[in-house]
Amino acid sequence: MIKRVLCLILACMLCLAGCCERGEVESAFGAEKSGLPLYGLKIGIDPGHQLKGNSEQEPVSPGSSQTKAKVAVGTKGVSTNRPEHEVDLEIALELRDLLTQMGAQVLMTREKADVNISNVERAEMMNRWGADCLLRIHCNGSSDRDVHGMAMYVKSSGDAGQESFALARCLLESMGEATGAKKIGVFRRDIYAGLNWSRMPAVLVECGYMTNPTEDTLLSTPEYQRKLAMGAALGIAEYFGGAGQR
């Protein structure tokens, strides 16, 4: 029931967004901010990668002797020839605006390409801010161009591990429904520093494969990016239990 109501709210918001200036959606509803579905939540968004990778090493998890590159370069579109970091940021900005319209406070790790912020630094930024959850927005790649669909990755253990898995399941279901994309699954991994260092529920969202020609084109389409954002917002709302519930 919550999901159906939120779908209606979001549909109205998206329609209003087309005719209202940013920040006017709330007043168009004639509602107090405290009545919005995600009011009171602090949501972190980490658009994956950046203009240039950083091969310097950092620990994969707190106290670990295993290290990996601070920031990988990311994949590239086979149809669009676009770098992943650009597409990640576009999706993340769409999600930021929608979450803000729904009443949440949102912090982005980056809002431009030319930065140098390691994965550990991104997680620590959200830890200091006290984020209620963190979505790391990425696109996938494969040597097999036929592979397509979306997948969620969470840490294998540690702080908020079970909560991360539950959030990821909500995100996969909602984003799959919103886009019609294949839902590959939710996977536990211990190799992502950005997840291992996060103390709140954190999910690496692989929105689709830029190595699949059809999906690559979709991922750069504003309409599809809005569907991804809507699905993610619904997943977050469902995980936290709807308006006014934490």
Note the pLDDT tens digit of each residue in 55-98.
Answer: 999 999 999 999 999 999 999 999 999 999 999 999 999 999 99
With b meaning 16 or more CB within 10 Å and e meaning fewer, what string describes 188-218?
A: eeeebbbbbbbbbbbbbbbbbbbbbbebbeb
For the segment 98-107, the average pLDDT, to the nearest whole number, is: 97
Task: Specify whether the CB–CB gap between 17 and 222 falls below 8 A.
Answer: no
Whether residue 224 lies inside any domain: the answer is yes
The number of distinct structural domains making up the chain is 1
Quote the CA–CA distance of 177 and 227 in Å, as a whole number.
Answer: 9
pLDDT of residue 139: 98
Whether residue 20 is predicted with pLDDT greater than 50 in this model: the reply is no
- The rounded percent of the chain whose pLDDT value lies above 90 is 82
pTM of the shown model: 0.88
Residue 246 lies in a domain: no
**DSSP string computed for 140-192:** E--S-TT---EEEEEESSSTTHHHHHHHHHHHHHHHHHHH---EEEEEEES--
Domain hosting residue 138, numbered range: 2-239
Hey, is 213 helix, strand or coil? helix
Average pLDDT (210-223) is 98
Domain membership of residue 86 (yes or no) is yes
Q: For residue 245, is it within any domain?
A: no
Residue 244 maps to a domain = no
Q: Work out the percent of the chain whose per-residue pLDDT is above 70.
A: 85
Return the pLDDT at 7: 55
The CATH code of the domain that includes 149 is: 3.40.630.40
- Specify if 210 maps to a domain: yes
Is the predicted pLDDT of residue 33 greater than 60, yes or no?
Answer: yes
